[in-house]
């Protein structure tokens, strides 16, 4: 694995750099991080592939979360020895449009946690609501892209994954969420981050609640193409729509934009790996 060695304290600031391979995780040890490099970019060290390394997991507060296939007892025991968590969860998938986690408690106890990320604070219960640390670089990228005073619609806000950092970056955010449990955490996280003056939460379907015109619209849901028409109806020339998906939908996006009277430029970037031979994409759509 070709990588650049940096201080681990720099991970947040370099997450949006063009040379970072977003499909692979950095290796962190003793205050340093070896950050995977995209093909064709300069690198410092060529690390051996570490097939025998411990399986990856998320750390949310004092809980550990395994995703995908059920971890073995040895993998769970190893994670417990390394991290001493309050509990260990296995999340198989997220179900339906409300993205409800399907979880099993493998060790200890679970419940609410306070998770800190890039200066933002999030309360959540990972047995009830979704949270993905794999989107950290995308959150940082959008936070760097917004201008103070921008009007932003977060059409699938969840607990505030994007709304909170965008509000902290100076945007005025309308955050829409369909899941009542996620919505309660959204409101709590707005208060936790003292964003009552810049982020507003709305409970219900964004397609019926959204109103007005926005500079930037975020559709952070894999069924987001079904909401793209609603986003276009509340955009203007120069607006940017960030549409998440599991496949490149550029042709469909261009057709829908043209039907709404816009030209569009679409750029596609990888957010992270999603599964075997699949990646999580974001399509940046600039309307003309």
pTM: predicted TM-score of the whole model, two decimal places? 0.79
Same domain, 35 and 67: no
Is the same domain home to 235 and 138?
yes
Q: What angle do CA 219, 129, 56 make, to 5 degrees?
A: 90
- The domain in which residue 195 lies consists of 134-287
**Tokens at 24, concatenated:** 């692979």
- Tell me, yes or no, whether 145 and 252 share the same domain: yes
Clarify whether residues 271 and 141 are in a common domain.
yes
Output the average pLDDT for the chain.
88
Q: Are residues 238 and 152 in the same domain?
A: yes
| Strand pairing category for 216-219 and 151-154 | parallel
- Per-residue pLDDT averaged across 6-27, rounded? 72
Q: 83 lies in a domain?
A: yes
Q: In what order do the strands lie in the sheet with 240-245?
A: 199-203, 172-177, 151-154, 216-219, 240-245, 278-287, 264-275
In a domain, 93, yes or no: yes
Are the C-beta atoms of 64 and 89 separated by less than 8 Å?
yes
- Say whether pLDDT at 190 is over 70: yes
Token pair, residue 105, equals 């408690």
Note whether residue 271 is domain-resident. yes
Question: Dihedrals φ, ψ of 253, to 5°?
Answer: -60, -45
Task: Give the CATH number for residue 138.
Answer: 3.40.50.150
The answer to whether residue 233 scores a pLDDT higher than 60 is yes
More confident residue, 34 or 87: 87
List the single range of 119-133, 136-150, 197-211, 267-281 with lowest mean pLDDT.
Answer: 267-281
Assign 54 a pLDDT band (cuts: 50, 70, 90): low
Residue 162 has pLDDT above 90, yes or no: yes
Residue 94: per-residue pLDDT: 82
At residue 16, the pLDDT reads: 61
Length of the chain: 288
In a domain, 127, yes or no: no
| Integer Cα distance of 203 and 244 in angstroms | 21
Residue 104 lies in a domain: yes
- Complete DSSP assignment for 206-232: HHHH--S--SEEEE-STTGGGGHHHHH
Question: Chain-centre distance of CA 134, in angstroms?
Answer: 6
In a domain, 125, yes or no: no
In this structure, which long-range contacts are made by residues 44-50, counting pairs with CB atoms below 8 Å and at least 24 apart in sequence? 44/3, 44/4, 44/5, 45/2, 45/3, 45/4, 45/5, 46/1, 46/2, 46/3, 47/1, 47/2, 47/3, 48/1, 49/1
| % of the chain surpassing 90 pLDDT | 58
Evaluate whether residue 115 is within a structural domain.
no
Angle at 184 between CA 181 and CA 187, to 5 degrees: 150
Least confident piece of the model among 37-51, 58-72, 190-204, 222-236: 37-51
Q: Does 184 lie in the same domain as 154?
A: yes
Q: Is residue 254 part of a domain?
A: yes
How many structural domains comprise the chain? 3
Element (H, E) at 81: helix 73-83
Same domain, 42 and 62: no
């Amino acid at each position: 694995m070709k990588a650049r060695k940096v201080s681990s304290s720099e991970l947040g600031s370099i997450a949006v750099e063009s040379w970072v391979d977003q499909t692979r995780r950095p290796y962190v040890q003793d205050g340093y991080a070896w950050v995977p490099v995209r093909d064709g970019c300069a690198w410092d060290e060529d690390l051996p592939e570490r097939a025998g390394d411990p399986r990856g997991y998320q750390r949310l507060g004092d809980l550990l979360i395994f995703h995908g296939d059920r971890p073995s007892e040895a993998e769970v025991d190893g994670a417990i020895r390394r991290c001493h968590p309050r509990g260990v969860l296995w999340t198989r998938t997220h179900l339906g449009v409300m993205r409800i986690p399907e979880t099993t408690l493998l060790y200890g106890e679970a419940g609410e946690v306070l998770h800190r990320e890039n200066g933002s604070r999030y309360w959540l219960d990972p047995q009830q609501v979704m949270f993905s640390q794999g989107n950290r670089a995308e959150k940082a990228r959008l936070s760097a892209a917004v201008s103070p005073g921008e009007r932003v619609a977060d059409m699938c806000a969840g607990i505030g994954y994007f709304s909170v950092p965008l509000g902290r970056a100076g945007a005025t955010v309308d955050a829409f969420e369909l899941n009542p449990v996620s919505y309660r955490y959204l409101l709590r996280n707005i208060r936790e981050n003292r964003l009552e003056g810049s982020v507003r939460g709305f409970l219900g379907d964004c397609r019926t609640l959204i109103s007005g015109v926005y500079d930037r619209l975020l559709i952070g849901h894999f069924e987001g193409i079904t909401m793209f028409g609603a986003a276009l109806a509340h955009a203007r020339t120069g607006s940017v729509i960030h549409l998440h998906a599991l496949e490149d939908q550029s042709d469909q996006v261009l057709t829908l934009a043209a039907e709404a009277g816009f030209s569009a430029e679409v750029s596609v970037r990888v957010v992270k790996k999603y599964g075997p031979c699949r990646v999580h994409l974001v399509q940046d759509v600039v309307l003309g």
